[in-house]
Structure 1
Amino acid sequence: MKKISLLFAFIAFSLTSCSSDEPGPQGPPGEPGINIVGQTFEFEDVDFQYFADGNFYATVVDIPAEIEILESDAVLVYRREVINDTETWSMIPQNYFLEEGIIQYVFNHTADDIELLIDGNFDLSTLDVAFTQDQFFRFVVVPSDFAVDTGIDVSNYEAVMQAID
């Protein structure tokens, strides 16, 4: 029994006494990570103006000075809706099928501003103000590599925000 105890003590000592202050060999390089510098800003109480000559609504919002949009960046636009006291976000372009016909929110942008438009296939001068006044929009600017390469569903606002946090 003494020999077995002595053998276990020797094994335990030899396994624990093999330490070194030198680092081990460098491992293989890992996959490159995602460097995301996304920016978000929003505008409340956005009112659209009706243009009878083209039968559309439009408004222009200026991009805040502290937001820099590069030519390669992707701009994502979300419109807020409150349904049954729950805030939801719909990515633009967004279609609405109404009794009168179809409307669609669309946008275009420069490095300085974003033009929001409402287009439709009926006389939009009769469009309910719930679609044209006091609107709330959120804008997310992400590097285009992120928008293309990550596989994130950019139409899902929560998924985009979770990915860039």
Structure 2
Amino acid sequence: MKKLLILGLLFSTGLFQACTVNENPQPITNELLAEVFEVKADFTPGNSFRNYYNLSPVIFDSDVLLVYEFVGLDKTGADIWKPLPQIYTSDNGIHQYNFDFTKLDFSIFLDANFDRMRLNNSWRLGKTFRVVIVPGKFAKMVDKNNLQNVMNTLKLTESSVVDLTI
């Protein structure tokens, strides 16, 4: 019985010494976690008023994609970005810019309760959007209504913006 107890203790000691814990994991930089890019989009009958973009590499299931519409400049010359969806009313009716995404791709689209071709070209052609990939662990910590706050939280700068052209 004593021999079995000694063998059991030796086995247990060997088992615990074989397991190691990495107490100093390598930090992951924000450049690998968050990304921001800019796209220009035309909304026409030819693309069903929807622009598709592939994500390469694909994002994690926990990541969140945010999209902002460029709406002009403020009186200081700073860009004004509004989060999607954005809803507008006109004499024609109601139209909106919106988006959807998967971990593989995303699309930005123009929807309306009237014929979208009745919209002035400035509403349909050459629209600029900023897209931010927010790592899942930051998704609840950022003020998603303000692009600059999102970029500051994720330590992204204007030089981080990648211009994607279709």
**TM bracket, shorter-chain basis:** 0.5 to 0.7
Structure with greater helix share of residues: 2
Q: Percent identity?
A: 30
Q: Which runs of 5+ in 2 are unaligned?
A: 1-28, 156-166
What stretches of structure 1 move > 3 A for 4+ residues in a row?
83-86
Q: TM-score, normalised by structure 2?
A: 0.65
Q: How many residues align?
A: 123
Q: Does 1:43 align with 2:39?
A: yes
Aligned partners of 2:64 and 2:136 also within 8 Å:
yes
Question: 1:56-75 counterparts in 2 under 5 A?
Answer: 57-63=49-55, 65=56, 67-75=57-65
Q: Does 1:140 align with 2:163?
A: no
**CA deviation profile, 1:124-149 (whole Å, cap 9, x unmatched):** 2211111111111111011223112x
* Residues in 1 aligned to 2:50 and 2:45: alpha-carbon distance in whole angstroms: 7
Aligned partners of 2:64 and 2:134 also within 8 Å:
yes
Q: Which amino acid aligns with 1:162?
A: N
**Corresponding residue of 1:76:** 66
**Corresponding residue of 1:155:** 145
Alignment match of 1:91 (pick from 70, 83, 97)? 83
Per the TM alignment, residue 83 of structure 1 is displaced from its structure 2 partner at its CA by 4.2
Secondary structure (helix, strand or coil) at the match of 2:144 reads: coil
Alignment match of 2:96 (pick from 91, 104, 121)? 104
* Residues in 1 aligned to 2:152 and 2:58: alpha-carbon distance in whole angstroms: 21
Q: TM-score, normalised by structure 1?
A: 0.66
Q: Which runs of 5+ in 1 are unaligned?
A: 1-34
